[in-house]
Amino acid sequence: MEIQAALILFGIFAVLVTFGVPISFAIGLATTACVTFLMSFDQAIFVVAQRMATGLDSFTLLAIPFFILAGNIMNRGGIARRLIEMAKVIGGQLPGALAHCNVLANMLFGAISGSAVASAAAVGGIMSPLQKKEGYDPAYSAAVNAASCPTGLLIPPSSTLIVYSLISGGTSVATLFVAGYLPGILMGLGVMIVAGIIAARRGYPVIPLPGVKEIIKKTADAFLPLMLIVIIMGGIIGGIFTATEASAVAVVYCLIVACVIYREVKFSELPSIILEAAITSSIVLLLIGCSVGMSWAMAFSDIPYVISEALNNVSENPLIIMLVINLALLVIGTFMDMTPALLIFTPIFLPVATELGMDPVHFGIMMTYNLCIGIITPPVGSALFISCSVGKVAIQDIIKPMLPFYAAVISILMLVTFIPEISLFLPRVILGYGG
């Protein structure tokens, strides 16, 4: 029964996705077919709809549309340009200075906007012409931009970690946010090391050290955007507000900075910004609702148990099992976008990981990091395609320059997987987490 249900669920889902059906509808239809097999069509319609509604009835999920709106406001508010100028001050003296600036700006802007694609477009759009002017290989520049833009999905505030919190059964958002810092920073440093080695071999120039006045000015210009992270994380860690309330605070702060202080977003533009955020939010929330229904169908038919048994039959060694899970997620990430992959496969792999003694926070960071790699790999790597587009590079020309960056980020993934303290050290020290 379990195997038949799994074949129906994943088989129909795969067929629908192959024929171009939107992934939310593919998940919903496959779930309905699976539940119909287990019950009846009338019951399936009622149960799936009920589970979708119940899954979306969550206070935590309110943070997603607010953070999306805050990110959209910041994207229009000249934030990327200011962060790039600050990044030049920090990384300008390293070999391949502009490449390091690209990485640092992606880490900062990605954390503020919460979107790897937005970061790749905003930062890459500014950095690519500058690097080309200095004699950088366009394929190298696009590869640096692509490899570093996912760091903001780990460095909080991160909507992806909010989604994991919901689907994992209520793992603390604050703990996940704090746990994402070190892995996200390590990912950025890994990209910088590879970029620096290549830049040194090719003799790419450094940026002359600016004067003290210019350093102060550039730092002051980036102060207000960076304060958003301080306010959000400080408020969450200090217990002043929850992650959901922090998202509303972020919107108010972004409005003040972008519309009143910088004046780069006009009040007349707000309706279109809000509409864009509403459309994006509706897509994400529909996906979450359908995925919650699929998660229930899998649990009801004992599919996670069957997969757990299959993994245990592969090996009794926990290290081997974690390697298999990572390999599976890497393959999945190349064909499926990050959010649906997180929603579908967390209920499958999390029970296996916890049975092996892995902390849910550690597993969430590992899984998020793993799927970050998927958005910079073909054939569905949205951030990779955006980086190629803004860098004016053909997709076939960027694959070879990406290989050393893939090696770096996957090596750090292994460290994150097998050294739990990389994810859990800060939560233990800052929050007193005892997981």
Sorted by where each begins, the domain ranges of the chain are 1-57+289-300, 58-265+301-431
H runs (alpha helix) in 241-317: 243-255, 270-300, 303-314
Check: CB of residue 82 under 8 Å from CB of residue 126.
no
Q: How many residues does the chain have?
A: 435
Q: What angle do CA 54, 56, 62 make, to 5 degrees?
A: 140
Amino acid type, 336: M
Per-residue pLDDT of the chain (435 residues; tens, 9 = 90+): 677 888 888 889 888 888 888 888 888 898 899 888 888 888 888 888 888 888 787 777 788 888 888 878 877 777 777 877 777 777 667 777 888 888 888 888 777 777 777 778 878 887 888 888 888 899 999 999 999 989 988 988 888 888 898 888 888 888 999 999 999 999 999 999 999 999 888 888 777 777 778 778 878 888 888 888 888 888 888 888 888 888 888 889 888 988 888 888 888 888 998 998 888 888 888 888 888 888 788 878 877 777 777 777 777 788 888 999 999 899 888 877 788 888 888 888 998 888 888 999 999 999 999 999 988 888 767 788 888 888 888 888 888 999 999 999 999 999 999 999 999 999 999 988 876
How far apart, in whole angstroms, are the C-alpha atoms of residue 307 and residue 314?
A: 11
CB neighbours of 178 closer than 8 A, spacing ≥ 6?
A: 156, 233, 237, 426, 427, 430, 431
